[in-house]
Chains A and B, each alone.
Chain A
């Protein structure tokens, strides 16, 4: 077990209305040199967050005090590019527990689910609605109810459901991961090998 149990989240959200945010942007390759799964949040979106002299870029969302929360809202095709899991770790380590988009790259989605970060897919229209709400009022709160698989804009009560498979849901809710499951299967694996 390597992450916290996932329960209901109520939080404002950080908007990043860009498409095709790739994993090289989420965490640039030169920050992948660690040999432990710690501290990647510091370099999350590094090249957008800091300028050449390592000074915070004022208008980047993570540096803008207006925005906060455990939910990141991104544009279409979020997490494309390299399969590096560090992208999910960096988002988690920074404090995000949910990423919302209308479309996620496959590997990124799998990596997130394996690391306690919930990818929530909503329709492009609903996504726009979320962006609009945050723009109007950055303090707008959202509720992510994993049990009911429901995402709600609390100020208006508008909500949408999202997909997650039962197995992953069970894992997230209990803070379990696939390895816990697999090591309990050793017998079947050995039988398969001897077939």
Chain B
């Protein structure tokens, strides 16, 4: 029998047709939408005189634009308000489930999908957002699409896609204390660069990944896109089943047993071939921090900013431009650099485990005077867990109020903008110029490193505070 990878198994089972000299017509099981990339798709659909084909397979939540304070009050930014209202209206008209502001399910769509049990192994999942890759952590093929494709899915529950190449990234061994899933993925991106995965779909494998919790696996798959890959995925196992069991939309009763039996076949066959393979050792990974303006420009926190001597031509120009923007110099130490903001949240690190890590480190301490800290849960569900475990008390004692869920400073479409020239240690996924607000300077890091920076006010190796 043909040896197949996990990716092949799911992809091939969803191909309706292979277009001569063109892409595959791929069936989509689950479609997530939010307020920014969907309105144009709905208006396109309307212009063509079409209706949503399978409304029950689409789920919506506003997340990019929403305020993270006083969510009960009307949104003040007119355009944001329009988009949020338009989403609700479109959903109502088409019969799509919409978890709006104020509902107990509300949150960042990539957080609530898994949390509600909507994301399941073996599914094809798309959303007009690149970090859809998050859902791959549960053993699904999940990837970001453009608005035209959102329109396609609304119109036909299908998209047209060429089958990507396959890559496996294996990480083996035990992570040392203070090193988290976020550091693993930042390390991988720094090693293979932001274009290393282009054209590929990545399967993450190896003992380090197997030992990770679901929350950690989601962090890894979330950022798989930052190495240029179409998405990342992890074969489902007991950790996955345990996570899904009992969630709102998880299969129940006899269905559950049937589903698990099916899910257990979802793994890469021995000897199946990948177009590319990488192997990394967990022991080589230390807490990571970025110094530049793409997620691949990261170093171990005890290391210096590279000199860039080996770079040439436009690589060199980009490197210099990035450091210039950050106001850093080649060879400088990252540790000890003064920072102004800390952001814990986003679909990368806005889950309960991230808040537990942050809380453990900051417990009994105060945040540094010079630092503003934004703690933004990924969903109402996460917020509820935070309160149930009393973490909000720990934060309050440290001088940090908890905010309400949304994408927040991850892309700064709402009011949560880092001011120009200021430094933010952020648990989000992108450090592009101006990503967190015009002129903002972002240092990507783990929740532990973010907590350490919140306490000391400077870039700090979290291992020193453990």
Contacts and interface: CB of A to CB of B under 8 A. Distances in A.
A30 B48 CA distance: 28
Interface stretch (A56-64, A81-89, A136-144, A147-155): A81-89
A177 B149 CA distance: 10
29 contacts: A18-B321, A24-B430, A24-B434, A33-B65, A34-B79, A35-B83, A36-B39, A37-B44, A77-B195, A81-B430, A81-B432, A82-B430, A83-B130, A83-B145, A84-B146, A85-B146, A111-B146, A114-B148, A165-B21, A167-B22, A168-B22, A178-B160, A179-B151, A183-B50, A186-B156, A188-B17, A189-B16, A189-B156, A193-B157
A96 interface: no
B303 interface: no
Given A28-B434, A35-B43, A107 B315 contact: no
Interface residues of A, number: 54
Interface residues of B, number: 65
Q: List the 6 closest A-B pairs by CB distance, nearest first.
A: A167-B22, A166-B21, A85-B146, A33-B79, A35-B39, A83-B130
Contacts of A30: 412-413
B346 to A, nearest CB: 13
Specify which of B20, B164, B314, B321 lies most central, judged by the most chain A CB atoms within 10 Å of its CB: B314
A103 B432 CA distance: 19
A25 B432 contact: yes
B22 A189 contact: no
B228 A106 contact: yes
A2 B43 CA distance: 12
Given A24-B435, A185-B16, A189-B158, A75 B79 contact: no
Contacts of B129: 83
Interface in B301-322: 314-315, 317-318, 321
B79 A110 contact: no
A185 B27 CA distance: 12
A113 B26 CA distance: 18
Given A29-B413, A114-B149, A182 B80 contact: no
A85 B37 contact: yes
Nearest to A166: B21
A18 B325 CA distance: 15
A38 B40 CA distance: 10
A85 B16 CA distance: 25
Contacts of A167: 19-23, 160
A178 B21 CA distance: 14
A106 B230 contact: yes
A85 B147 contact: yes
Nearest to A127: B314
Contacts of A173: none
Contacts of B130: 81-83, 107
Contact of B20 (A37, A166, A177): A166
B282 interface: no
A107 B146 contact: yes
B188 to A, nearest CB: 17
Contacts of B434: 24, 28, 47
B198 A105 contact: yes
Specify which of B159, B195, B294 lies most central, judged by the most chain A CB atoms within 10 Å of its CB: B195
